[in-house]
Structure 1
Amino acid sequence: MINSKFKWQLDQPTDPQAADKLAKDANIDPFIAKMLAQRGVTTPEAAEEFMNPSVSAFHDPFLMHDMQKGIDRIQKAVENGEHITVYGDYDADGITSTTIMYETLSDLGADVDYYIPNRFSEGYGPNVQAFENIIKKGTTLIVTVDNGVAGNDAIDAANQLHCDVVVTDHHSLPEKLPDAYAIIHPRVKNENGDGYPFGDLCGAGVAFKIAQALMDEVPSDLLDIASIGTVADIVSLRDENRAIVKFGVQAIQNSQRPGLLALIKEAGIDLSKFSEDDIGFGIAPRLNSLGRIKDATVGVELLSTFDEDRASELAKFANSQNDLRKSLVDQFFTDAVQSVEDGGDLHGRRTLVVVGNNWHQGVLGIVASRLVDKYQRPTIVMTAADDSDEVKGSGRSVDQFDLFKAIDPIRDQTVGFGGHHSAVGLTIKKDKVPVLKDQLEKAAADQHLDLSVKPKLAISAVLPISKVTPDLCDKIKALAPFGQDNPKPIFKMQFDSLANVKTMGKTNDHLKFSLVQGNNQLTAIAFGKGSVAPELQNGQTTLEVAGEIGENTWNNRTTLQLMIDDLKQTLPPVVDQRTRELHQQMFAQSGVYVFFHEKILKQLQRYVGDQSQAVMYNQVQKDFTDGHRLYIVDCPDVVDDLVTLLANIRPQTTVLYLYKKQLISKIGMPDRNSYAKLFRFIKEHSNINIATQLKQISEHLHISARTIIFMVQVFLELDFITIKDRMINLNPDYADRDLKTAPSYHLRIEQLAAEKKLLVSNTHELVSFVKDCLGV
């Protein structure tokens, strides 16, 4: 049984009529209107702004806190020839923020350089020693990007050395803001209590707004870099961010940056079909890997250089660092899983703490995320070094557990600790690992962490695969760019069966199959689900599938496919296992085995186990089947017999074997000419021995032997003939009677109808019919 990772929930707009009204008022496609309504976009004006953002989407940068003050200080430094240092961060948002600020100041003629702190030796944000070194080299103005709002100590040190600091940041605000010359932040309120209209900018977005203020226009040449930071930092893709990414994706397609183009080439991205996904899965991981593995400083050079040879060299380096990062993650994840499984950490515990030896610190957060995905519980992954008594690590959490709040009570027992609800970083002494484990379990109890509660998966609609067309795909694309607060629509697919089930990848980690409905097929891919392949068989399945519709291009041919978000199997009410052969193994499962022909029951009864029952259809009682599996072994002669049986019982699952050795429909019902030919033959011949003469009669009349036997039975029931000692003769006293009044004739009609309904029909038709009979 394949269990779902999520709790599926059909996404319904608050106002059921909103989508229809929007489609009419805005004159847009009803499907798009429904998707917009699910996103809270319900007016024509909002729809136009969402679908077609314009330059007007960019707010006045001077509405942001301290923007004027910060701009004045930067301009003064430029005019006076002061040395400015842009102090960035080592992730993709930090690298792009630094690039934007550095290029903007360079274009203004500033004396400027940049500094990216080292993740491992200096950590995140303003560092006192780094600030002091920068100032000693002649810097009189430090402009932070993507950091600084919590850098009180380093900023105080800079002030004492008579160096001003302009903070540009977007991260959560601390209780006490630093004493910086200016704090440009979209969530800090101005003196009059007003705030910037949109508070969800990333670091690159804030840097972009400063560039807009300095240039007195929207800096279109920086949209490509700003969009990378915005997608990479997983901020809301609404309002201003939506415009940044929408225009940024277009800018990247036309980019002249040698470094960006070289990076796109290394990532194997088709620039003609570039989308925000290519940023999230191609560009951003390669930029992030620089800071995770070594030094992110080269990332700024990569994005800003105009030397094509240097750009190619740096792009190859970024790609190799990303490959190394993936290799390390795979290695440490495998080791971590083995540690968890061997150590019994899943028994009686709701949280996980895994400690490796000499694991690379830069990838511990990714390993923790993968463990959370696998085990669905808060996880901290740490590494120990042989020459240190400390362990360092990162933690990731689930929605219902505040990881920062969980660890905060033992903050005084840590060497270093920081983070938020879903992610933390910490350093502790080795002997404090048991304390950490106990505290997490205590917090799990205090926060009432319930591991059985699954995160929700919003289903946009239920779609038959016949509706998955290029036109539908184009409609979905109209809602892009997708990301935080504008997720790709997820559909639950309707289909009849699976085909071509197989695994993919070097270690068969991934699953691929086709969803089949009539003449329609749709390829589906499920990453990380290769292990469930043996549970899926071609043909009818109880599998339910939810995923995102997309395109796959291979050898210049583009096809539609489903990228699966979740799978689940449910015990089906009806299973089609129709067969022409019965064998002992088919009676191995416990349940109630129902027969319509006593002869077949007697032949097979010995195969039915002690925990099961074998009964005739007219002997089934309601309590026989309640909550049990019901097996319909053979095919009834009359459909109503099956209908009557199913109407009065409530099995958990009904399995349909519907065995019939030979189909009467292959013979059919004799026509009137056949009856007339046989009648004349009997009339003209006396003492016909049907046992010895059947073959000759069949050849003479050109009628099959089985049909002749059937017609003889009809004649006998109508008193047209007599049979004595196997000799057939015409009844001299026969009277004209309608053939349809013969019981065998009527039974043949019923049998043909039963075969058509139960044996000739396709799986969907049969299952639907039986479900209707069961009332499910």
Structure 2
Amino acid sequence: MINSKFKWQLDQPANQDVVDKLSKDANIDPFVAKLLVQRDITTAEGAESFMNPSVSSFHDPFLMHDMKKGIDRIRQAVEKGEHITVYGDYDADGITSTTIMYETLSDLGADVDYYIPNRFTEGYGPNVKAFQSIVNNGTSLIVTVDNGVAGFDAIAAANALHCDVVVTDHHSLPEKLPDAYAIIHPRVKDDEGKAYPFGDLCGAGVAFKIAQALMDEVPSDLIDIASIGTVADVVSLTDENRAIVKFGVQAIQNSQRPGLLALIKEAGINLAQFSEEDIGFGIAPRLNSLGRIKDATVGVELLSTFDEDRASELAKFANQQNDLRKSLVDQFFTDAVQKVEENGDISKRHTLVVVGNNWHQGVLGIVASRLVDKYQRPTIVMTGSDDSDEVKGSGRSVDSFDLFKAIDPIRDQTVGFGGHHSAVGLTIKQDKVDVLKDQLEKAAEEQHLDLSVKPQLEISGALPVLKVTPDLCDKIKTLAPFGQDNPKPIFKFQFDHLANVKTMGKTNDHLKFSMVQGDSQLTAIAFGKGDVASDIQNGQSQLQVVGEIGENTWNNRTTLQVMIDDLKETPQPVVDERTRELHKQMFTDSGIYVFFHEKVLKQLRRYVNDQSQVVMYNQIEQEAVKDQQLYIVDCPDVVDDLVQVLSKVSPKTTVLYLYKKQLISKIGMPDRHSYAKLFRFIKEHSNINIATQLKQISEHLHISARTIIFMVQVFLELDFITIQDRIINLNPNYAARDLKTAPSYHLRTEQLAAEKKLLVSNTHELVSFVKDCLGV
């Protein structure tokens, strides 16, 4: 049985009157109008703003806290020739925001360089030693991007050395802000208690707004880089971010940046069909891998260089780092799963702490995410080394568990700790690992973590495979770019049956099949689901599929496909497991086992477990079968006997073994000529010993021995013959009678009909018949 990973939440049907009005007022397709209404967009103005952002979508940058103060200080530094250092971060948002700020200041003629701290030796955010070194090298203005709002000590150190710091950031605000010259942040309120109109900008978005303020116009030449940071940082794709990404995707398609084009080529992206998904799955991982594996500084050079040879070299390097990152993640994930399984943690714990040895620190968060995805519980992955008594790691959580809050009570026992609800980073002594494990389990109890509660998956509606067309796909695209707060629509697909079920990938990790409805077929792919392929069969299926409609281009041919988000199998009310052989293991599951032949019941009773019930078909009780598993063990001689059983029960599932060792239909019903030949032989010969002469008679009459025995039984029932001690003679007083009146003849007719209906029919015919009898 395939169980769903999520709890499926099918959207309530949108108010049709509202949909119709929006469709008419905005002059858009009703299908698109329905999707907009599901996003709480119900007016023509709202639809126009959402679907067609424009330059007017960008707010006045000077509405942001300290923007004017920061801009004035930057302009002063440019005019006076002061040396400016842009202090960035090592992830994709940090790399892109550094690039934006560096290019903007360079274009203004500033004396500027950039500095990105090392993830492993310096960590995230302002670093005292780094700031001191930067100032000592001649910098008098540091502009942070994508960090700084919590950099108290480093900013104080810069101030002490008479270097101003302009912080530009978007991360969570501390209770008290650092003593920076200016703090440009979309969520910091001004003296009147007002904040910037849109608080969900990423670091690159904030840098883009500063560029807009410095240039006195929307910097269209930087929107490609801003869109990469926006998608990579998974911020809300609404309002200003939506405009940044919408225009950014278009800009990338027409980009002249050698580094970006080289990176797109290395990622195997089709530039003509470039979308925000290519940023999320192609560009961003390669930029992120630079900081995860080694040093992110080259990322800024990659995006900003105009040297094509250097761009190609750096793009290849980024691709290699990404391949290395994926290899390390796969290796450590496999090792981590083995540790979890060997320790039996899944059965014993609500949370997981996995400690490896000499694992690369840069990928531990990704490994933790994959473990959360696999085991659906908060997970921390750490690594130690032989020459240190410390272990370092990253944690990821589920929606219902605050990981930061869980660890905070033992903060004093950590060497370093930080993060938020869903993700943390920490360093502890090796002898504190058990303390950490115990604290997480304690927190799971305090937070009432219920692992049986599945995360919710919003589904836009049910969609027949027949209606999935290129035109429909184009309508969905009008709602792009998709991302946080504007997810790509997920549909539950309706189909008749499955075909072409197979696995994909070097290690058969992925699943692929076709959903068929009428003459339409739609390919579906589920990454990481190759292990359930054996549970899915071609033909009729109780599989339910939800996923996103996308396109696949191969050899210049584009086809539609579904990227599966989740699968589940509903219990089949009727299961066809017809067999010619019965085995002990077929009777291990609990349920009601129904027999039609006493002899078969006596032979198999000992195999049925104590929790199950064994019953003859004419003794079954209706209440005993209610919501139970019903097994029809052997094949009845008369179809109506099965009908009578099924018509009065309501089982959860009916499993059909319908065992019959030998089919009578292979022998068939003797024709009248055969009856006449045997009758004439008996009439002409007296004292026939059926025991000793059967083979001889069979060869003489060219009739099988089994058929002769059957016909003898019919003659006996009609009083045509007498049998005494196996000696057959003609009854001298026999009277002509219809063969069909003999009980054996009637029984064989019923048996042949039963075999045709129950054993010779195909699965679809049999299941449909049984469902009709059950009334399901």
1:632-711 counterparts in 2 under 5 A? 645-656=645-656, 689=676
Q: 8 Å contact 1:587–1:609 — kept in the other structure?
A: no
Check 1:723–1:252 CA distance in 2 against 1; reply closer, same or farther (3 A cut).
farther
The answer to whether the aligner puts 1:486 opposite 2:497 as a matched pair is no
Compute the displacement of 1:430 (Å): 1.8
Q: Deviations over 1:526-577 (max 9, x none)?
A: 2112222233333333332222221222222222222122222332222345
Q: Give the corresponding residue for 1:399.
A: 399
Q: Give the corresponding residue for 1:522.
A: 522
Q: Give the corresponding residue for 1:208.
A: 208
> Which amino acid in 1 is paired with 2:308?
E
Q: Deviations over 1:220-264 (max 9, x none)?
A: 111110110000000011111111111111111110000000001
Check 1:752–1:212 CA distance in 2 against 1; reply closer, same or farther (3 A cut).
farther
1:476, 1:2 → 2: CA distance? 29
Q: Give the corresponding residue for 2:99.
A: 99
Q: Give the corresponding residue for 1:133.
A: 133
> Which amino acid in 2 is paired with 1:584?
L
Compute the displacement of 1:360 (Å): 1.2
SS across alignment from 1:278: helix
Check 1:773–1:61 CA distance in 2 against 1; reply closer, same or farther (3 A cut).
farther
The answer to whether the aligner puts 1:199 opposite 2:202 as a matched pair is no
> Which amino acid in 2 is paired with 1:588?
M
Q: Give the corresponding residue for 2:123.
A: 123
1:364, 1:35 → 2: CA distance? 38
> Which amino acid in 2 is paired with 1:276?
E
The number of equivalent residue pairs is 723
2:771, 2:26 → 1: CA distance? 42
Q: Normalising by structure 1, report the TM-score.
A: 0.84
2:177, 2:481 → 1: CA distance? 34
Q: Give the corresponding residue for 2:247.
A: 247
1:323-472 counterparts in 2 under 5 A? 323-472=323-472
Q: 8 Å contact 2:234–2:484 — kept in the other structure?
A: yes
Compute the displacement of 1:351 (Å): 1.4
The answer to whether the aligner puts 1:190 opposite 2:190 as a matched pair is yes
> Which amino acid in 1 is paired with 2:236?
S
Compute the displacement of 1:141 (Å): 1.2
> Which amino acid in 1 is paired with 2:582?
Q
Compute the displacement of 1:300 (Å): 0.3
The answer to whether the aligner puts 1:54 opposite 2:54 as a matched pair is yes
Check 1:29–1:657 CA distance in 2 against 1; reply closer, same or farther (3 A cut).
farther
Q: Deviations over 1:108-135 (max 9, x none)?
A: 1111111111111111111111111111
The answer to whether the aligner puts 1:567 opposite 2:567 as a matched pair is yes
The answer to whether the aligner puts 1:235 opposite 2:235 as a matched pair is yes
Compute the displacement of 1:160 (Å): 1.8
Q: Give the corresponding residue for 1:714.
A: none
The answer to whether the aligner puts 1:588 opposite 2:586 as a matched pair is yes
SS across alignment from 1:501: strand
1:537-576 counterparts in 2 under 5 A? 537-576=537-576
Q: Give the corresponding residue for 1:289.
A: 289
Compute the displacement of 1:628 (Å): 2.7
Q: Deviations over 1:500-534 (max 9, x none)?
A: 33222222222222333444332222211222223
Compute the displacement of 1:162 (Å): 1.6
> Which amino acid in 1 is paired with 2:306?
F
Q: 8 Å contact 2:663–2:755 — kept in the other structure?
A: no
1:549, 1:21 → 2: CA distance? 26
Q: 8 Å contact 2:576–2:763 — kept in the other structure?
A: no
> Which amino acid in 2 is paired with 1:392?
K
Check 1:772–1:476 CA distance in 2 against 1; reply closer, same or farther (3 A cut).
farther
> Which amino acid in 2 is paired with 1:338?
Q
Q: 8 Å contact 1:549–1:561 — kept in the other structure?
A: yes
Q: Deviations over 1:474-504 (max 9, x none)?
A: 2222221111111122222233433333222
Gaps of 5+ in 1: 668-677, 694-721, 733-743
1:265, 1:160 → 2: CA distance? 47
Compute the displacement of 1:774 (Å): 3.6
Q: 8 Å contact 2:394–2:425 — kept in the other structure?
A: yes
Q: 8 Å contact 2:92–2:287 — kept in the other structure?
A: yes
Q: Give the corresponding residue for 1:161.
A: 161
2:417, 2:16 → 1: CA distance? 47
Check 1:182–1:519 CA distance in 2 against 1; reply closer, same or farther (3 A cut).
same
SS across alignment from 2:474: helix
2:165, 2:257 → 1: CA distance? 30
Compute the displacement of 1:22 (Å): 2.8
1:82, 1:444 → 2: CA distance? 53
Give RMSD over aligned pairs. Answer: 3.8
Check 1:629–1:438 CA distance in 2 against 1; reply closer, same or farther (3 A cut).
closer
Check 1:91–1:587 CA distance in 2 against 1; reply closer, same or farther (3 A cut).
closer
Compute the displacement of 1:428 (Å): 1.5
> Which amino acid in 1 is paired with 2:334?
T
Gaps of 5+ in 2: 681-717, 722-729, 737-744
Check 1:748–1:66 CA distance in 2 against 1; reply closer, same or farther (3 A cut).
farther
Q: Give the corresponding residue for 2:63.
A: 63
Check 1:568–1:609 CA distance in 2 against 1; reply closer, same or farther (3 A cut).
farther
1:17, 1:638 → 2: CA distance? 56
1:373, 1:554 → 2: CA distance? 30
Compute the displacement of 1:632 (Å): 5.1
1:512, 1:195 → 2: CA distance? 49
1:658, 1:588 → 2: CA distance? 12
Stretch of structure 1 that moved more, 462-471 or 180-189: 462-471
> Which amino acid in 1 is paired with 2:150?
A
Check 1:438–1:290 CA distance in 2 against 1; reply closer, same or farther (3 A cut).
same
1:82, 1:270 → 2: CA distance? 43
1:121, 1:8 → 2: CA distance? 44
> Which amino acid in 2 is paired with 1:375?
Y
2:354, 2:285 → 1: CA distance? 24
> Which amino acid in 1 is paired with 2:59?
H
Compute the displacement of 1:193 (Å): 1.3
Q: 8 Å contact 1:492–1:544 — kept in the other structure?
A: yes
Compute the displacement of 1:369 (Å): 1.0
Q: Give the corresponding residue for 1:703.
A: none
Q: Deviations over 1:680-705 (max 9, x none)?
A: xx9xx9xx948689xxxxxxxxxxxx
Compute the displacement of 1:303 (Å): 0.2
> Which amino acid in 2 is paired with 1:622?
Q
Q: Give the corresponding residue for 2:269.
A: 269
Compute the displacement of 1:594 (Å): 5.5
Q: Give the corresponding residue for 1:673.
A: none
Q: 8 Å contact 2:128–2:153 — kept in the other structure?
A: yes
Check 1:261–1:635 CA distance in 2 against 1; reply closer, same or farther (3 A cut).
same
Check 1:601–1:231 CA distance in 2 against 1; reply closer, same or farther (3 A cut).
farther
Q: Give the corresponding residue for 2:706.
A: none
Q: Deviations over 1:180-224 (max 9, x none)?
A: 111111111111111111110000011111111111111111111
1:13-32 counterparts in 2 under 5 A? 18-32=18-32
1:38, 1:639 → 2: CA distance? 52
Compute the displacement of 1:49 (Å): 1.5
SS across alignment from 2:345: coil
Q: 8 Å contact 2:416–2:426 — kept in the other structure?
A: yes
Q: 8 Å contact 1:601–1:615 — kept in the other structure?
A: no
1:659, 1:471 → 2: CA distance? 51
2:27, 2:642 → 1: CA distance? 51
Compute the displacement of 1:759 (Å): 7.9
Q: Normalising by structure 2, report the TM-score.
A: 0.84
Check 1:390–1:16 CA distance in 2 against 1; reply closer, same or farther (3 A cut).
farther
SS across alignment from 2:4: coil
SS across alignment from 2:348: coil
Check 1:469–1:604 CA distance in 2 against 1; reply closer, same or farther (3 A cut).
farther
> Which amino acid in 2 is paired with 1:583?
E
1:39-50 counterparts in 2 under 5 A? 39-50=39-50
Q: 8 Å contact 1:405–1:421 — kept in the other structure?
A: yes
SS across alignment from 1:155: helix
> Which amino acid in 2 is paired with 1:355?
V
1:45, 1:169 → 2: CA distance? 32
Q: 8 Å contact 2:381–2:393 — kept in the other structure?
A: yes
Compute the displacement of 1:605 (Å): 7.4
Q: Give the corresponding residue for 2:176.
A: 176
